[in-house]
Amino acid sequence: MNLALVMPDLGFGIVTASVLAMGAVGFSMLYGITGVINFAYGDEMTVAAYATYVVNVLLNVNVWISAAVITLGMGFFSVAMARGLVAPFKRRRAGTFALMIITFALGIVFQNLLQVIFGSSFQSFDVSQPRTVHFLGMIYTNQQLVIIAIGIVAMLALHFMLQFTRVGVAMRAMSDNVPLARACGINTPRMTDLTWFLAGLLAGAGGFVLALNTTAFGPSLGETFLLVIVSAAILGGVGRPYGAMVGAVIVGVVTAMSVLVLPAADKTAVALIILVLVLLIRPHGISASAGRT
């Protein structure tokens, strides 16, 4: 196979992986620590994209600053959403399935509210013209390189927090064994808030880079993307942030490379087929480590 044909797709796969990574890690962490399968996550990313658009285009702020501000804002939005809309159901001992339907419904509400406000036409950020960059035979735009950089920085920051801060280790402990964490004196409600906050940050950054990567976006931006995120998260072993990163890379690269053999339009379908196969063959994902207690 001609390398020159493969490399651009590989490059695109890496960009996709970077975009995926944030969503997959956020989704996975949320499930691992709070036990909630958040089907509104994709639409949260759409909300972030539109919010960034508002600040960028309508308020005329530089796009990168808009993104940073909105990312922070999404953190708080996420906590508010959890406290206001998820917690009441959890208090009523709603089962996992009920929570799935509820977050799904929430996602529908988000998506369609955006459509009511902005209409279904496509929007774009106000950003300078992209320049192409050649790197190792792969063709990138400078924006795509920024996306990859954002992805790497986010993952490194997360890694640092999870490994080297007391709070991060406590979150990983909760992900393993909640009663034991309580027995160590870890304040689980506060940790839950913090987890939602982080998930919100990741949704903010993830939504922004997703919108940036697709250039023109509409209200359904995050809808199908959610399932691709879930695919990466489950492939990596749901609840495992590092696994989700690996899953993102695999799904990103495989779907991008699939265009060599399949029609380009089927890329998303490839990701979903991966998801179904993983569920059937090895639902715990590729991580071989000890399971969640």
Tell the smallest beta-carbon distance from residue 95 to another protein (Å).
8
Q: Which of 8, 115, 146, 159 binds another protein (CB under 8 A)?
A: 115
Question: Should residue 129 be labelled a site residue for another protein when binding is judged by CB under 8 A?
Answer: no
Total number of residues that touch another protein (CB under 8 A): 65
Planar angle of CA 290, 96, 221, nearest 5 degrees? 95
Candidate list 116, 129, 132, 134; residue touching another protein; CB under 8 A: 116
Q: Whole-number minimum distance, CB 219 to another protein, in Å? A: 8
Three-state SS for 205-231 is HHHHHHHHHHCCECCCHHHHHHHHHHH
Which of positions 254-273 make contact with another protein (CB under 8 A)? 263, 265-266, 268-269, 272-273
**Which one of 2-10, 52-60, 71-79, 102-110 is the stretch in contact with another protein (CB under 8 A)?**
102-110
Residue 293 sits in the site that holds another protein (CB under 8 A): yes
* Least spacing, CB of residue 2 vs another protein, in Å: 26
Stretch touching another protein by CB under 8 A, among 1-9, 173-181, 192-200, 207-215: 173-181
State how far the Cα of 167 lies from the Cα of 147, in Å rounded to an integer. 28
Among 152, 180, 216, 260, binds another protein (CB under 8 A): 180
Q: Which of 10, 61, 69, 176 binds another protein (CB under 8 A)?
A: 176
69 binds another protein (CB under 8 A): no
Examine residue 142 and tell whether it contacts another protein (CB under 8 A): no
Contact status: 224 vs another protein (CB under 8 A):
yes
Q: Does 214 bind another protein (CB under 8 A)?
A: no
- Backbone dihedral angles phi then psi of residue 123, each to the nearest 5 degrees: -115, 165
Distance between CA 83 and CA 182 in Å, rounded?
A: 20
Q: Rule CB under 8 A: is residue 133 a binding residue for another protein?
A: no
Q: How far is CA 82 from the centre of its chain?
A: 17
Residues within the interface to another protein (CB under 8 A) = 37, 85, 88-89, 92, 94, 96-98, 100-102, 104-109, 111-113, 115-116, 119-120, 166, 169-170, 172-173, 175-177, 179-186, 219, 224, 227, 230-231, 234, 240, 263, 265-266, 268-269, 272-273, 275-276, 279-280, 283, 289-293
